[in-house]
Amino acid sequence: NAGVTQTPKFRVLKTGQSMTLLCAQDMNHEYMYWYRQDPGMGLRLIHYSVGEGTTAKGEVPDGYNVSRLKKQNFLLGLESAAPSQTSVYFCASSYSILSGIYEQYFGPGTRLTVT
Amino acid sequence: DAKTTQPNSMESNEEEPVHLPCNHSTISGTDYIHWYRQLPSQGPEYVIHGLTSNVNNRMASLAIAEDRKSSTLILHRATLRDAAVYYCITSSGSARQLTFGSGTQLTVLP
C-alpha cells in the first residue's frame, strides 16, 4: 500500500513551458486535492475533485488545470509556467470518516522551480 | 470556515508535555476542529479531530473549551520527532476542504 505518490519529485521549468504533475493513490479514496505551499506559509488549495470525472476550483486556481479521468489519479497541469508558480506542490486524498470529516492523506510533494 | 489563531512558534523540552493552543472564536456550532502537522520536508499528516468533547488517540489529545472558542493540542511526552509545524483548522460539516493557516512551529529541545 503506497498511499499517495507524486511524480516527479523535482522539476525546473523555464517561463512559458508546460508540464503535468501526476498524483496517484491506492486507497480507493473519492476525494483528491492539489495544494501549493510557498516558503514559510501554509498550504493553499488549488483544485480538488470529489469523484472521477469531477473537479472544482479551490482558493488559488488561476494558471492551473486539473483532470480526474481515473479514480486513482489526479493530474495538475501548468500550461504556461510563470516564476510565481515556483512552489512545493502537495497532492492529498481523503475519505469520509463520518459525515463532515475527511481525513486527508498527503503525498511527499513536488518541488517546482520556474526560472 | 472560522479563522484560527495560533502562536507562530513554541519550544518544548524532550519528554515533557506540550500544550499547543488555538483560538477559533468565530467557530459555528457544527464546525469540526482538526489538527494536522507537517514534519520537515514532508506533506502534512492528520493528528486528531473533535467537535465538542475532548478526544484522545495514539498521537495526541485534543482539549476543547466548553464554549468551543479555543482548543489545545496536547502531546503527552514530546520527542525530537515531534518537531514540526502544527496546524489547527476548523471546517464546516459539509465542507470537504481544509484551509491551512501558517501554524505553530514546534521546536523540541534535547
Model confidence at A103, in pLDDT bands (50, 70, 90)? confident
Contacts of A57 in chain B (CB under 8 A): none
For residue A83, the 8-state DSSP code is G
Residue A101: how many other CB atoms lie within 10 Å: 17
Asked whether the beta carbons of residue B45 and residue A90 sit closer than 8 angstroms, the reply is: no
Model confidence at B91, in pLDDT bands (50, 70, 90)? confident
Q: Give the up-direction half-sphere exposure of residue B33: CA atoms within 13 A in the CB hemisphere.
A: 30
Quick: pLDDT tens for B13-67: 999 999 999 999 988 888 889 999 999 999 999 999 998 999 999 889 999 999 9
Query: Is residue A26 scored above 60 in pLDDT?
Result: yes
Torsions phi, psi for A57 (to 5 deg): -80, 145
Of A97, A102, A106, the CB nearest to B96: A102
Q: Give all strands of the β-sheet with A19-25 in edge-to-edge order.
A: A4-7, A19-25, A73-78, A65-67
Contacts of A108 in chain B (CB under 8 A): 42-43
- Alpha-carbon gap, residue A66 to B89, rounded angstroms: 25
Quick: pLDDT tens for A31-61: 999 999 998 888 999 999 988 999 999 989 9
Write out the DSSP string of A68-79: -SSTTEEEEEES
Write out the DSSP string of B74-90: EESS--GGG-EEEEEEE
pLDDT at residue A40 in the model: 82
As a whole number, the mean pLDDT across chain A is 92
- Alpha-carbon gap, residue B48 to B54, rounded angstroms: 11
Nearest CA in chain B to A104: B46
Query: Is residue B94 scored above 60 in pLDDT?
Result: no
